[in-house]
Amino acid sequence: MTKSSKTDRRSVCSSRAARLLSAASVSLMASLAAPNALAQQAEASAGADEEIVVTAQKREERLQDVPISIAVLGGEQLDQQSTGGALEALTSVPSISQATSDAGGMTQVSIRGVAPTVPFGGGSSTVGYYLDSIPFGLVNSAAVPNANAYDMSRMEVLRGPQGTLYGASALNGVVRIITNDADPTQFEVKARAGLSSTDGGESSYRADVALNMPIIEDRLALRVVAGRESLGGWIDQPARGVDDANNSTSDNLRLKLAFLPTDDLRIDLGVWYSREEYDAAPYADDDGNQSTPLAQPGETEFTAYNARVTYDLPFMSISSSTSFLDFNQFAYTDASYLAPIDPALLQLYSDLPAEVFTQELLLSSVGEGPWRWSAGFFYRDAQGERYQTLPAALPGPISWRDTSESTAIFGEVTRVFADGEFELTGGLRYFEDTSETVTLLVPGTFLPPNTASSEFDALTPRLVATWLPSPDFTMYASYSEGFRSGLNQTPLTLLQAPLPPAEADRLHNYEIGARGSLFNSFATYDAAVYYINWQDIQLAGSLTYGDPPVYISATINGRISERFRDGSQLDASSSGRFRSRRRFQLQRPDTRCRCVSDGRLSLQQRRSAEFFTGNHCERFPQLRLCAVECV
């Protein structure tokens, strides 16, 4: 066993990655299955390096044949994690970066450096985040919670815009967390437990168990997954006299029921519950300390419900996915740096409940032939509330509700040529969104009654030419677009300045990529060269307004004063006979850009908007090289 110091931990950019690298851990894993199940698992493991099947394009395909820059983390690999969840696993994927909120509990995920300016209150995420078929997209938040990565089928990371098939918030990529379905053909139970210690911190432990139980053979089954993880703190708060202040505990429960009344009809029902409680957010200075004189506890909790029905006809497949997400987060954040007064008066309290209902209907072609197609309809009804108090800065609580009701229709067609050697794909999605922000008149508030309404729409195309000369090589050239819906200014902003809403932003991506395997699948690679043009960027921050000028917080659209950026990435891995996998990742984007103020604002509204002029675009790594070995 080895231990690492706090100083070593600080050299790692991500605090979550730091926990993985610094923990000296012992993992205990056990699995019990029926003999037939063990045989099937062994066969699956033997072929895992030969063929991986994904559903990135909403149909089952070999990974090798998908004309998208995509990374896949397998369930077996995820089960072997000694600590952490899905977000920790994503640190091994090239082009992924993360930023944890100062409030804790939520993380902002970005792909190829395209990220919102703030995790909360400045627009939705630039990356679509899916738990199975449940889109985890909040109205006015770009952050997502961590998810237990035990008993996963796989995780898929789609790099580049996915607006045609996945819609709003898939501006420059999608992360799909796909759990194992209930299986009515076999009984299975497995478990894992882990214990770790950190030099200068407290001990951590985790335990997970998964049970798959057929109820009616081949027709009905239940799958249950439960887990708890306790992460010991390693950050001190000297002003409070507290050591190891950032302890956290997370609990997870998943239930999935599969019912197959006929060979052509399948019904899957699922519930996913998750709760994380933490005593302090995971940030610190170079000495591993937080200077706060205040406690900063918080809690993030969600329950997600999903019903998926699939019916197979001889010529097409019909699937319906209905989901409901009930989310809540509360947090205490220290703002005592703002003024030398009683710190208790500068403790920001935030309560952020949200609900999201979605419905998707998808029709897809089946079978072989020169044509493949898919078409669908999507509906989303979402709302999120904000309630905050800050005694020294606000004369009373502030509260409002953001709502979004959107619909979309989409379709994609592929024509196959030359016996499958060439493919041409075209897709289109039309999206409409009605957004409303209503001031909530909670007791003591100073905000006047107000309602702001806006409508947004977008038409996003996709065009791909694919060359498949052999089963071991695929090359593609693509043009795709992604978008985020717009948002209203907050009631607090509108109280100070009559600014217009921030319009939807759009990203254009031109890409050439190749994927292949060498030496009988001993080594694989995924390479891409891309050019991005991001327009009408939603920028949240402070600007000056009025005469005399005062600082206000707002979200406006920016534009690029130089051509945006190009870049490249390489994801390569090798696997030997002892199933050791080494991944080498290289990413080099050109990050020179300047964001200037929105031309739609009046001269008075644009005056002295220093925050938006000439800023270097954030979270774009100049060069990233990473080597990961999994044994």
How many other C-beta atoms lie within 10 A of the C-beta of residue 444? 12
Cis peptide preceding 449, ω within 30 of 0 = no
Q: Residue 45 has what pLDDT?
A: 39
b/e 591-630 (16+ beta carbons within 10 angstroms → b): bebebbbbeebeeebbeebebbeebebebbbeebeeeeeb
Mean pLDDT lowest among 91-95, 430-434, 541-545: 541-545
| 495-519 confidence digits (pLDDT tens) | 988 889 999 999 999 999 999 988 8
- Mean pLDDT calculated for residue range 547-559: 80
This prediction's pTM = 0.84
Q: For residue range 105-117, list pLDDT tens digits in order.
A: 788 899 988 888 7
Distance of CA 73 to the CA centre of its chain: 15
Q: Lowest-pLDDT range, 326-340, 458-472, 554-568, 583-597? A: 583-597
Q: Across the chain, which distance is largest between two alpha carbons, in Å?
A: 79
Does 330 have pLDDT greater than 80? yes
pLDDT at position 572 is 56
> 392 vs 213, 344, 347, 363, 398, CA distance in Å?
56, 9, 9, 56, 13
pLDDT tops 90 at residue 564: no
Position 604 scores a pLDDT of: 38
Checking if the pLDDT of 617 tops 80, the result is no
The confidence band for 50, taking pLDDT boundaries of 50, 70 and 90, is: low
Most confident of 40-44, 468-472, 523-527: 468-472
Tell me the per-residue pLDDT of 388-404, one tens digit each, with 9 for 90 and over.
999 998 999 999 999 99
- Confidence at residue 40, expressed as pLDDT on a 0 to 100 scale: 35
- Asked if the model's pLDDT at residue 627 lies above 60, the reply is no
Nearest in space to 262 (alpha carbons), one of 217, 314, 203, 219: 219
pLDDT for residue 616 = 38
476 vs 576: which has the higher pLDDT: 476
pLDDT in tens, 25-40: 333 333 333 333 333 3
Q: Using the Cα atoms of residue 203, residue 629, residue 89 and residue 237 in order, give the sign of their dihedral.
A: positive
DSSP letters spanning 215-262: EETTTEEEEEEEEEEEEPP--BBGGGTBSS---EEEEEEEEEEEE-SS
Contact by Cβ (8 Å): 289, 262: no
Instruction: Identify the pLDDT of residue 30.
Output: 37
Q: Give pLDDT tens digits for 219-248.
A: 999 999 999 999 999 999 999 999 999 999
The stretch 598-602 carries a mean pLDDT of 41
- Average model confidence (pLDDT) across the chain: 81
